Amino acid sequence: MSTSDRRVPDTSLGLLGRVQAGDSDAWREFSLRCFDVIHDWCRWRQMHGIEPDDITQNTMLVVVRKIGSFQHAGRGSLRAWLKAIAWRCWADAVARAKRSELGELRMHYEAAIDEIANLERQHEQLRKLDLMKRALLLVQQRVRPSTWQMFYRTALAGEAGATVSSEMKIPLYVIYSARARVQRLLHEEVQLLSALEPEVDVYESQVPETTSEPSGH
């Protein structure tokens, strides 16, 4: 029998009875003796990363709640009861630690997924912006300068159609017709450029190709 086992107040039935009767002085003595014993058990068992102080505190909280219903069943029964509670508290602590670890891993995983989605969105935005820039240059070369100017001022520069019509001395319907034509051409060019664009994996590693040196003979 270990020193800790001998220190458990199993033989002091009078003390136990007073504790169960609600004697506060008896409880102080009883709890101090039990606390030391439980703490020693936890340290001796090396509770797999769980702090002995935490297990001891949790065990004593359970003892406080359940000591009134404990039934002494002979020598060693109190020791066994305390050990059972300590082991249950340890098992609960391990389960909580695992849940916490899994929760942390899940958070990291979800953060990584969000980052990937964000990179994909950024990549798609940059791709569309590049397509639009190229399409604008191509369409500008396909239309008359005046048509481009009407489109540019009303669609890109944000000027009012009436202002452009007045300054260019062109009917308003002609302004809007020119803008619609350029927009249609832009849509066609973007579709064509997108169809011709090769698929690129945004996460593809840029690993330089290696060439094998010819073996000497």
pLDDT digits (tens, 9 = 90+) for 63-74: 878 777 776 666
Q: What local confidence, expressed as pLDDT, does residue 202 receive?
A: 40
Dist CA 132 CA 179 (whole Å): 16
Region of 75 please: left (phi>0), alpha (psi -120 to 50) or beta. Answer: beta
In a domain? residue 201: no
145 and 74, same domain (yes or no): no
Dist CA 157 CA 118 (whole Å): 30
95 and 134, same domain (yes or no): no
Q: What local confidence, expressed as pLDDT, does residue 58 receive?
A: 83
In a domain? residue 109: no
> Which residue range(s) make up the domain with 137?
119-196
Q: Could you tell me the CATH number of the domain that includes residue 26?
A: 1.10.1740
In a domain? residue 209: no
In a domain? residue 17: yes
2-49 residue pLDDT tens = 444 445 544 456 777 777 777 777 778 777 777 777 777 777 665 556
Measured from the Cβ of residue 100, the count of other Cβ atoms closer than 10 Å reads: 10
In a domain? residue 206: no
Domains contained in the chain, number: 2
144 and 177, same domain (yes or no): yes
In a domain? residue 165: yes
In a domain? residue 203: no
11 and 96, same domain (yes or no): yes
Of residues 36 and 154, the one with the higher pLDDT is 154
Q: What local confidence, expressed as pLDDT, does residue 2 receive?
A: 45
Q: What local confidence, expressed as pLDDT, does residue 14 receive?
A: 72
pLDDT at 113 over 90: no
* pTM tops 0.85: no
pLDDT at 147 over 70: yes
Write the CA distances from 79 to 6, 67, 73, 103, 114, integer angstroms.
9, 13, 11, 36, 52
69 and 126, same domain (yes or no): no
Q: Could you tell me the CATH number of the domain that includes residue 129?
A: 1.10.10.10
**Contact in structure between 75 and 58 (CB atoms under 8 Å):** no
**Out of 23-27, 156-160, 205-209, least confident range:** 205-209
Confidence of residue 213 (pLDDT cuts 50, 70, 90): very low
pLDDT at 172 over 70: yes
Of residues 178 and 14, the one with the higher pLDDT is 178
Across the range 60-85, mean pLDDT stands at 76
12 and 60, same domain (yes or no): yes
Summary mean pLDDT of the chain = 77
84 and 57, same domain (yes or no): yes
pLDDT at 189 over 70: yes
124 and 96, same domain (yes or no): no
12 and 91, same domain (yes or no): yes
**Contact in structure between 42 and 52 (CB atoms under 8 Å):** yes
Across the range 131-143, mean pLDDT stands at 91
190 and 144, same domain (yes or no): yes
Of residues 28 and 208, the one with the higher pLDDT is 28
Dist CA 126 CA 199 (whole Å): 14
**Residue 133, Cβ density class (10 Å: 0-12 exposed, 13-18 middle, ≥19 buried):** exposed
185 and 129, same domain (yes or no): yes
Q: What local confidence, expressed as pLDDT, does residue 211 receive?
A: 36
In a domain? residue 34: yes
139 and 90, same domain (yes or no): no
Q: What local confidence, expressed as pLDDT, does residue 146 receive?
A: 94
